[in-house]
Structure formats: C-alpha cells, structure tokens
Amino acid sequence: MSISTTGVLARPRTADARPDPPAKKRRPPDLRRWISPVALVLLWQAASSTGVLPPDELASPVTVARAAVDLAVDGELGSAFAVSLRRVAVGFVLGAAAGLALGLLAGLSRWSETLVDPPVQMLRTLPHLGLIPLFILWFGIGEEPKIALIACGVAFPLYLNLHSGIRQTDPDLLEAARVLGYTRAERVRHVVLPSAVPQTLVGLRIALGTAWLSLIVAEQVNADAGIGHLINNAREFLRTDVVVVGLLVYALLGLTTDALVRGLERRVLRWQTR
Amino acid sequence: MADPVITSAVRVRGLTRTFGTRRVLRDVDLDIAGGEFVALLGRSGSGKSTLLRVLAGLDREVRGEVDVPGTVSVAFQQPRLLPWRRVWRNVSLGLRGVDGRAVAVKALAEVQLAGHAEAWPLTLSGGEAQRVSLARALVREPDVLLLDEPFGALDALTRLAMHALVERLWNTHRPAVLLVTHDVDEALLLADRVLVLDDGHVITEHRVDLARPRDRGSLVDLRAEVLADLGVDRETT
C-alpha cells in the first residue's frame, strides 16, 4: 500500500492561467456499471452456498449482512465505531494543528523555513507506520501510541502542501497588492493564504486518507476497544462475517470523510468554476 | 491629498538604475504635470517598464531623485485580479479594506461592467478583466495613473474600445497618466506628449497638439517621425 504525502499541484493559481476545462456535467449514473459488481457478489454468494468457499475462510454476503444487523442492534458496532472515530478525531486535530502551524511558519518566514523545513523533510521519508514499535516503547499500549501514529500521518501531508502552496503564491499578485498600499500582514491575508487554499485542501484529503490507514494499523496492535478490536476478536473465533463487517465500516468511514472534503472543496473553491 | 503648490505630479532627475553591470536607465529626467497624459515609447529592453516600476515604488534600488507626491495606481499588462475575490471586491481592494461596495459598483459602471459585480474573475474575458483592473486603479482617485502596456495582451478590436475607454476615464478623473507602450499609434492617439526611450535614455519628445478624439489619418506625419526615432525605416512599415 502506498500513500503519497508529497505535494500535488492540482489547480491553477493565477487569473491569467486558464484553469482545467470545465468539469463534466453530472450525467445520470450509467446503470450498466453495476452489472459486474453485482455479478461478483452473486458469485461469492453462490460459492458460499455450494460450500466451495468455507465460512471460516470467508462468510457469505448474506451472513455478513446478518452479522452487521446483529452487531448494530446489540450496540457493539456503535460503541466500537465511537471509539475508533474518537481516536481519529483526536489524532487528526493534534496532527493538523502541528502540520498547519509548522507549514505557516515555514511558508511565511525564510528563517523559520531554514530551521523547520530540513528536519521535517528528513522525517517525512520515514514510513510513519513503521514507528509503532517506538511509540509503544514511549507511550505504552493505551490510546496514546494510536493517537500519536494518526497525528503523524496527518501532520506531514498538511505541512508539505500548505508550505508549498504558500511558496507558490503568484509574485505578480503580491506586487499588485503592494502597489495598492497593502502591508505585509494584509498581503498575507488577502493574497498568500487564499492562494494556498487549493493545495492545502489537496493535503487535507491525503491527510484524512493517511489518518484512516494509521487507525487501522494502530488498532491491529493491542486494541481493547474499537473496530480493530472487534475484528481481532472475531478472528479468534473464526467469525469471518464480523471481520468483513469491520472492514466495510472502515471503508465507509473513509468514503464519508472524502465526500465531506469534496463538499468543502466545492464550496471553498467555487471561484475556480467558470 | 494633492497640495495646490505641487504643480508636477511626477518629477524625476538624474535617475539611474543598474542591474549588475548593465545600466538600464541612464540619467533620466522626467516631468509630468498634474492631469497630463504622457506616453513612453520604446523597444523591448529600452528600460520603459523599469522606469514605470520605479515610479510605482516597486523598485527602490536607484540613484537619482524620484518625486511622486500623490497617490499612485498601476494597471499592468495582465489584469492581476485576485481570482478568489468577486469582481466588486477586487475593485474595492483599491480602497484598501474599506467595504466600499457602492463605490466599487459605481467604478465598475464606468467601465460598463456593473452587471458583473458579483462575478468571479476567472469567468471574465481578457478585455473585461482588464477593465476591472482599470476600475480598481481608478477607484482610489489617483493623482498618477501608471499604465504598463495594459492593452498589449488584448485583441485588436478590444484594444480600440479600450483606447476610447481610457480617454474617457482620463477626461473624467484627470489623473496624470504615464502610458508605457510599444505601439506608436496608441501613444499618438492618447497622449499630450510622447517620449521615446532608447537604451535607458529619453532621446526625443513629441508634443501632440491635436484635438481629441483623434483619428489615425491626422497622425501620419507624426507617426513617421516617431518611427524614425525608434529606428524603424519607412519602407519596412
């Protein structure tokens, strides 16, 4: 699995640069695209029903659905969900605060950049998921190492994208603001920060993807609650149906946050539509 | 704002600007009276844009005397609008933070864009964006308006309309104008005085004492003279 944390310049920055061609109008969904996914699920069900796929290797779709309903009804799924969500939320807030603060510092001041950027660039080459052993030694096996891992995954992409977004501010626009008599603080507010927003949002999406990934890895280690705990417990009892339910919940959480960021982008970047 | 004692809007004496070993401006003198329209002609690399940047206060690494006592506005070759601010907010940027929506819309009406006040800059055509840029420059009622080849990136038809617009705006607001251009016709159509800059030095000056609006036919003789100053032969034009 590879998640890129490097900055991606996804959008034009100046009034003169022509942005991407207009986004395609939303067309009614092409139902034919559902044919093969549905066929695969049916095939899976058929393999399970005929015994080709034994339930201790992979439960059938119907069993998975039943397990999901059972877990939801007795509240086990809800409480596991809440624990996992809290971990991601706390880790995200801490990581985002660190990443954004350092990104602003390095972006707005040459001296801070000289001091901050080299160590951050070196650290980001470490695969952060590999830090688990150290985090366990430092923080024990409670909530702290999990939250720290998620915070690390969030901080780096936000730092990198905010920093490079600020650095890519169009000097022509800054000059125009200078001619209008804008002070440095006003130029930062009206020109620099708004022009860093598109790339920071790219960073936000990468950060959220990394946050969920970090959660999943962190919860494989000594989780006594949460979705990961649910999955590990189920493994002990060969409950492949519950394992699949846990995986589906992870996937849904990831999709939901991604959709939220997309919504945010549409709103914040509506000036890019033409 | 403008002190009544001040008669010249721009006063430059012995201005020299060096980049490394290259002297881009050599000992330039320049006076622009209040309300006067001056065009500065020159080939690329003659130093005309450098001179404009010095007057705009964007370049202070100079020797010599530069005195621009009043408010200065600049319209650049590219409109340089902030794409994340609506059109009227871009115009009110000229008022620096004052929430002057009414003033901005009035300034937009002067450039026939009142209907675009709520639009995003990226939805405008090149000519429209340049008109917004003019409105932003004029909304602060500058004493000096610096135009840095503002029509250079526009198509020929739009450029003609812009000439008429600039003339009208100048008549209404009467700032001193320095128009930097390499288009001889444009300079002669609009300016009271045309300066030719060559190799960092003002080599000639032509007064254009013709009634406005001028038509191109009346400019033929003057045009030939100015082209000769610029080193362009009659045969090649």
Mean pLDDT of the region B5-22? 85
Q: What is the pLDDT of residue A274?
A: 61
> What residues in A contact B58, CB-CB < 8 Å?
175, 178-179
- pLDDT bucket at B221, cuts 50 / 70 / 90: confident
Mean pLDDT of the region B189-198? 92
Report, in this order, helix, strand and coil percent for chain B, each rounded to 5. Answer: 35, 25, 40
Secondary element (H or E) of residue B176 = strand B176-181
Q: Are strands B144-148 and B72-75 parallel, antiparallel or unpaired?
A: parallel
Taking 60 as the threshold, does the pLDDT of residue B4 lie above it? no
Provide the shortest C-alpha distance from residue A193 to chain B (in Å). Answer: 11
Provide the shortest C-alpha distance from residue A268 to chain B (in Å). Answer: 9
Q: What residues does B28 pair with on adjacent strands? A: B15
- pLDDT bucket at B99, cuts 50 / 70 / 90: low
Is the CB of B123 inside 8 Å of chain A's CB atoms? Answer: yes
Q: What is the pLDDT of residue A113?
A: 94
Q: What is the pLDDT of residue B215?
A: 81
Report pLDDT digits (tens) over A152-185: 999 999 999 999 999 999 999 999 999 998 999 9
Provide the shortest C-alpha distance from residue B73 to chain A (in Å). Answer: 7
d(CA B106, CA A18): 28
The values of phi and psi at residue B86, to 5°, are: -60, 160
Going from N- to C-terminal start, the domains of chain B cover 1-70+188-237
Model ipTM over 0.95: no
Q: What is the pLDDT of residue A12?
A: 41
Mean pLDDT of the region B12-35? 91
> What residues in B contact A182, CB-CB < 8 Å?
96
Q: What is the pLDDT of residue B210?
A: 84
CATH top-level class for B1-70+188-237?
Answer: alpha beta
Who has greater pLDDT, B97 or A46? A46
> What residues in A contact B56, CB-CB < 8 Å?
179
Report yes or no: B162 and B127 within 8 Å, Cβ to Cβ. yes
Is the CB of B94 inside 8 Å of chain A's CB atoms? Answer: yes
d(CA B137, CA A181): 12
Report pLDDT digits (tens) over A77-86: 999 999 999 9
Domains of chain A (ranges, CATH numbers): 58-272 (1.10.3720.10)
> What residues in A contact B154, CB-CB < 8 Å?
none
Q: What is the mean pLDDT of chain B?
A: 88
> What residues in A contact B97, CB-CB < 8 Å?
186
- pLDDT bucket at B211, cuts 50 / 70 / 90: confident
Is the CB of A180 inside 8 Å of chain B's CB atoms? Answer: yes
- pLDDT bucket at B236, cuts 50 / 70 / 90: low
Report pLDDT digits (tens) over B65-95: 999 988 999 999 999 999 999 999 999 987 8
Q: Which of B78, B80, B88 should we substitute to test contact with A (largest number of A Cβ atoms within 10 Å)?
A: B80
- Which parts of chain A register pLDDT below 50? 1-21
In order of A2, A5, A103, B43, B151, the CA distances from A155 in angstroms are: 17, 10, 9, 51, 46
Is the CB of A189 inside 8 Å of chain B's CB atoms? Answer: no
- pLDDT bucket at B233, cuts 50 / 70 / 90: low
CA angle B168, B169, B171 (to 5 degrees): 65
